[in-house]
Amino acid sequence: MDPGLEASAALEEGLQRLLAGEPLQYVVGWQEFYGRRFRVAPGVLIPRPETEILVREACVRALQLDGPRVLDLCTGSGCIAWSIALEVPGASVTAVDLSDDALAVARGQNPAFLHPGSGSEASSSAKEGLIAPRFLKADVLKEDIPGGSFDIITANPPYIRESEKVHMHRNVLEHEPAMALFVPDDDPLVFYRAIARHALACLVPAGWGIVEINEALGSETAAVFAAAGLQNVEILRDFFGRERFVTFNR
């Protein structure tokens, strides 16, 4: 096809998808996160800006360690796993998700393209010390997380209660994967109980963890980690002062 016609057909198709309410990020195929472009596609959650706070906190900890071992649960696009691997030379990151679509996107991220300001140009410094994350399929709610010891655990699990759907935009409800977002109203902390169990099993003594949480359930979520026997449990706030993260030590 004539390149001009091809471009205008692609533009027309993108426009139709936008008019049908599809998020812009799925139409263009990427979302900016922690200064890099991450590939996204229907079937994987679009990374959100508040999750960058989790990455920053994890990088501050990881940079104090020599060759830190990091476990990222519920990895989705791999935005947390890849950001830590790229920011912390020598970090070995294991990342887990249950969704085949998410794992395909996470594994398909291009570290050269992810380098800030690099566009599609590969930069050798971008990859210096980079160990590509290992992406594994596992159900966080079951006991089949890969064995091994980790210095740091990160997780942004599903945490929106079904009853909160009424406050959400149509383009999220109709286009982003429900399994990435929702938890039952009668057990909204189910993922945090599982993550606390994994933290106790996988973290080295004094190892550290951070999870993103539902702002309406800050103290309840912190209580899950304290009750499980984790230490120094604290709630962190986001840019708007909302309770959005819980941190802890083994």
Ligand X SMILES: C[S@@+](CC[C@H](N)C(=O)[O-])C[C@H]1O[C@@H](n2cnc3c(N)ncnc32)[C@H](O)[C@@H]1O
Q: Binding residues for ligand X, per CB under 6 A?
A: 45, 47, 51, 74-77, 79-80, 96-99, 102, 139-141, 156-158, 179-180
CB of 56 to ligand X, least distance (A): 13
Measured from the CB atom, the residue of 80 and 230 that comes closer to ligand X is 80
Measured from the CB atom, the residue of 123 and 216 that comes closer to ligand X is 216
Burial state string for 212-248 with b = 16 or more CB within 10 A and e = fewer than 16: bbbbebbeebbebbeebebeebeebebeeeebbbbbb
Type of residue at 174: E
CB of 48 to ligand X, least distance (A): 6
* 3-state SS assignment for residue 100: helix
CB of 38 to ligand X, least distance (A): 9
Measured from the CB atom, the residue of 182 and 248 that comes closer to ligand X is 182
Measured from the CB atom, the residue of 20 and 168 that comes closer to ligand X is 168
CB of 126 to ligand X, least distance (A): 21
Beta-strand pair 231-237/243-249: antiparallel
User: Could you give the dihedral angle defined by the CA atoms of residues 162, 163, 168 and 174, in that order, rounded to the nearest 10 degrees?
Assistant: 40
- Cβ atoms of 20 and 42 closer than 8 Å: no
Write down the H helix ranges in 49-189. Answer: 51-62, 79-87, 100-108, 111-114, 124-127, 170-175, 178-181
- Give the whole-angstrom CA distance, residue 18 versus residue 59: 35
CB of 120 to ligand X, least distance (A): 23
Measured from the CB atom, the residue of 203 and 210 that comes closer to ligand X is 210
Q: Residue with the closest Cβ to ligand X? A: 76
Q: What is the DSSP letter of 166?
A: G
